[in-house]
Chains A and B, each alone.
Chain A
């Protein structure tokens, strides 16, 4: 049997990195007067190629490379395709909505692609140091992107907040890595899974788990580590938020799945209740806070926190059912959230003159297509059947019920009812007929080009496909779950298996 060349295992990352470098070099070598917009197309094409490369990796036999630091499996391919898809939609969205005169436009595209390298690597790394490096690659580019609107006060504020709190959280993760190295003498995830149950100092292992959870839960903006989210979403440009609220979260959830299901399956009795609490907190805090928001982006930020909670409910599921539900939720959430931020970008414009819920009054009369799309994505976020949001919640809560957490499912569903109130408030305001004496919001006509149409089409199609024929995606999520459940190390196969290793 021919061994698979190591480079094949990181092919999508290599393609993305080369694309980013090419964009930067082109940006530097083109005459300053030339438009930088074509660089966005270069980045989009590179991302598409990386997406195909990820799919091609399915034909490789499952395995790891580079001294067991990265692996390819159905799990990594699932998240690679998801992240590349999100990045592609975000790039297409930025192509048409970034104003012509934006400074350093070329670097913007390069940073998006470099961020994608980090996120992809994060999902395929099986060595904690590489995990850390990947996390930093993705974080640093998102920190920069969050502060892109330097001329407003909120942009830099968002970037600095995100950077400071993010660095703090990453430090927790790093500390956790250090402790687990102290306990087991290795940073390779399969080795840790093998050695952790018999480590001499169990309190060290527990502390490592807790610290790593803090670091990761910050990245997915779960309560009580969520305070950065509304400020960052409000300050960052909307196309960046479309990326920020989905792709890094998907990568972080992939890491969380790896940590709890693959690295510490034996500590389920410890992390499952913790995640139960975090899930309930996230959905309740997120929804209650969202009810009071007047600013659309802040409202969607709190709704993102609530969705992190629904997603964490899937972690109450046993084994591969929970993993598959979480993976499916990530995909559905990404599709609808990218879509709604795309609509928000188009409605509000890059400089966001229309940021309040009241500014959306009569949107469906002003701009029927945008209004209908807004309502469509909101309906998916509510979780109405035949949209992706329904099956996402459905699988998540089914997994929770299957894992014995019936109350979690009931709290989650009641929270969905609560969430419907604020999503619907926006949808109904957008549908309302403007009455004579009310102020009619004046907005610049959104620039709708081919790229934006393609982005919206992808988001709508993904949301509908996940809602009407979820079978294929669910199948992919299930095979991803099985590869995560059956790692090479024999001792870490079954979650409920209490048998100690042989030595």
Chain B
């Protein structure tokens, strides 16, 4: 697997990224809770981790297939579980995104979290490790471990710092994800019982080679999909989302949304079970479009801005699901780009809404109004982030949305693309209406009664880079898209025998959008897809 000469730091960089937040968590737990020491340690740890994650794109060899920065050590002999980590173009930027959002989250919690800050920052840092772990694990059981671990800090922190009824929301959040992961574990064990390995690359080869019984494989793929669909969430499984957004501390809501589930879908459902994913894609496309419209419509009528953000997230995440199950390389690239953009934009919006709630102690939209005169900086940042979310050209949201919608239009079906576009238009409606109700119009009684300062230096210090990033992502997407494309659509491997590969039809190829028919390394040599055979 090790195709590039690696320096020693290159081999252990992912382990470092996993360990630094964990060490920070232990350190936070040990120091006394005085002089904001836990806050400072958490901030320094997250900044150090972010710098470490930047090492990855700096030394990433774009245009090379397979995983980089790999480390593969035996962990447990029987069953054969390996500590196997690595990144490719798919996960590279997601790791950086988590690294970027972590210090933002710490700043967002700086004043919001007053009690038991040691426990808060310890668990926050453990959450970081778990999320990094999900993105870099290439051993299915290791992945499952981090996947489950990521639930725990989140659930406890929702219970500890919930706004109204924390424990109930936390229980809902936990059980919604935990119960579907039981079939996921059975499916992983079944795969291991049949193939004798948890290694992602080996399993990819095995599932594609057709040696596994197709009937059982259908159920296994379904178990994977179900666990991920709840986590995203996909339309009928979104019951936990609104309560979680409503109750979760700002810092956690912004790191948790969507990313884990969407990445897992792309890597472990579409990536492992290409045939089964193709079979079930029409259902997922339909659910995604329903989710886009349903989320947007519900967002229009919310009176609480956290709930509005929750349904907006449902709508935006469904758009990415649509991209994933459109099964075009262009759509995938757009989907990954949209995950990144959504992470940055949502992070900024959460930070701003959290700042508003901290100042005015309410999340009811109706109580606000006319804040632009008093908080001009907050208003302008909020408008920029909203526009990025809507998908205004020159801002980050546009690129992803355009790629997704155009690939759906060209590669999937026109009616679905039109319906999805309708959802995007609705998105503009609720976001702009939110801006209007919060910042413009007559000053509300609340705004008059509580004179509040504009954004502080600390808040500006994190918001400004995020806004700049939105601009850069909107203007120069190729900085990211090149390596993402290499991840979802790798160039042909040097030796065809080592990586069994098949030509999948790339229907967008006919439109000249993506280029020639792609070589995708997941399917076996004996199974050309029906479209290609035609």
Contacts and interface: CB of A to CB of B under 8 A. Distances in A.
A384 B166 contact: no
Contacts of B119: 364, 368, 372
A424 interface: yes
Given A420-B175, A425-B171, A429-B167, A368 B145 contact: no
Contacts of A471: 75-77
Interface in A409-440: 409-410, 413-414, 416-417, 420-421, 424-425, 427-429, 431-433
Contacts of B189: 397-398, 401, 409
Contacts of A390: 145, 148
A410 B187 CA distance: 10
Contacts of B146: 385
Contact of B174 (A375, A409, A414, A420): A420
A385 B188 CA distance: 14
Contacts of B239: none
A433 B186 contact: no
A402 interface: yes
A416 B149 contact: no
A332 interface: no
B156 interface: yes
B10 interface: no
A406 B178 CA distance: 20
A420 B115 CA distance: 27
Given A413-B185, A417-B179, A429-B167, A424 B155 contact: yes
Interface residues of A, number: 38
Given A365-B115, A421-B171, A428 B76 contact: no
B79 interface: yes
Contacts of A410: 182-183, 186
A479 B162 CA distance: 49
Q: Which of the listed residues B161, B166, B186 has the most CB atoms from chain A within 10 Å of its own CB? A: B186
A421 to B, nearest CB: 6
Interface in A371-417: 372, 375, 379, 382, 384-386, 390, 394, 397-398, 401-402, 406, 409-410, 413-414, 416-417
B186 A385 contact: no
Nearest to A375: B156
A474 interface: yes
B156 A386 contact: no
| Interface class of chain B by DSSP | helix
A420 B173 CA distance: 12
B448 to A, nearest CB: 28
B151 A384 contact: yes
Interface residues of B, number: 37
Contacts of B151: 384
A470 interface: yes
Contacts of A413: 182-183, 185-186
Interface string B152-177: 10011001111000110011001100
Contacts of A406: 186, 190
B116 interface: yes
Nearest to B164: A435
Chain B CB count within 10 A is highest, among A420, A429, A475, for A420
B193 A402 contact: yes
A356 to B, nearest CB: 15
A321 B373 CA distance: 71
A384 B181 CA distance: 11
B414 to A, nearest CB: 42
B78 interface: yes
Contacts of A425: 167, 171
A375 B115 CA distance: 18
A146 B531 CA distance: 72
B149 A386 contact: yes
A431 B160 contact: yes
B118 interface: yes
Contacts of B77: 471, 474-475
B360 interface: no
A397 B141 CA distance: 14
Given A384-B148, A401-B193, A424-B174, A432 B167 contact: yes
B193 A420 contact: no
Contact of B190 (A364, A368, A401): A401
A431 B166 CA distance: 9
A428 B149 contact: no
Interface of A: 364-365, 368, 372, 375, 379, 382, 384-386, 390, 394, 397-398, 401-402, 406, 409-410, 413-414, 416-417, 420-421, 424-425, 427-429, 431-433, 470-471, 474-475, 478
Q: Which 8 A-B pairs have the closest CB atoms?
A: A385-B145, A413-B182, A428-B167, A417-B179, A428-B159, A431-B159, A431-B160, A385-B148
Given A384-B151, A398-B189, 11 more contacts: A398-B79, A410-B183, A421-B171, A421-B175, A427-B155, A427-B156, A428-B159, A429-B167, A431-B156, A433-B160, A433-B166
13 contacts: A365-B115, A382-B178, A384-B148, A385-B148, A397-B189, A398-B79, A401-B190, A402-B193, A414-B179, A420-B174, A421-B171, A431-B166, A432-B159
